[in-house]
Chain A
Amino acid sequence: EAGVTQFPSHSVIEKGQTVTLRCDPISGHDNLYWYRRVMGKEIKFLLHFVKESKQDESGMPNNRFLAERTGGTYSTLKVQPAELEDSGVYFCASSQQGYYGYTFGSGTRLTVV
């Protein structure tokens, strides 16, 4: 079974630019989550999709972040415009039903300069 795939693995952009991160969950997993870890801090929840619907987006930092999940398959997380404090590692995870030990991707390391 293929795992959770994220790309790009690394992205370096200038402040004010736009970046789009993509996550391909495990096939058949209805639940998709985004988390991020900023330097020196713990991993923090951003949002949770069930199929194409946003179940919980309480962790989204502000309206510069937009997450979508097309047709209940892959998801994108767009940051527009990017700020320095957005730098960190963005993780995506998926699970089949509810939460029972979901599978994480390897993450996208975003650096805003």
Chain B
Amino acid sequence: EDQVTQSPEALRLQEGESSSLNCSYTVSGLRGLFWYRQDPGKGPEFLFTLYSAGEEKEKERLKATLTKKESFLHITAPKPEDSATYLCAVQTTTDSWGKLQFGAGTQVVVTP
């Protein structure tokens, strides 16, 4: 059975204190791994897609990396506006095109 596990569940950071979020996955075949950001009362907002091990994507203070078993979302020198829940999702080769399986998310709070 496919599994997507995110850790930690919650993370509290001081402004400027860099950290990493983990998304480990066990799937029959990976078509793509996606990172989303979700603010309270809003829907998930797309950040990155990674397709193969070794791939990296960057956007402002965020950098996502992918290995054969896990993905990391690195937050460099975070600011309070980076506070959100970060969601990881996978698209597998056995699922229909477009179907995503989500992890439970990591809630990040960045304090000034």
A: which residues have CB within 8 A of B? 4, 31, 33, 35, 41-45, 48, 55-56, 58-59, 91, 93, 95, 98-107
Contacts and interface: CB of A to CB of B under 8 A. Distances in A.
A65 to B, nearest CB: 16
B104 A106 contact: no
Contact of B96 (A58, A91, A105, A107): A58
A55 B105 CA distance: 27
Contacts of A104: 43-45
Contact of A45 (B32, B49, B100): B100
Interface size class of B (residues with CB under 8 A): 20 to 34
B107 interface: no
A42 B104 contact: yes
Interface of B: 4, 32, 34, 41-46, 49, 87, 89, 91, 96-105
A55 B98 CA distance: 10
A95 B100 CA distance: 13
Looking at A44, A91, A101, the one whose CB has the most chain B CB atoms below 10 A away is A101
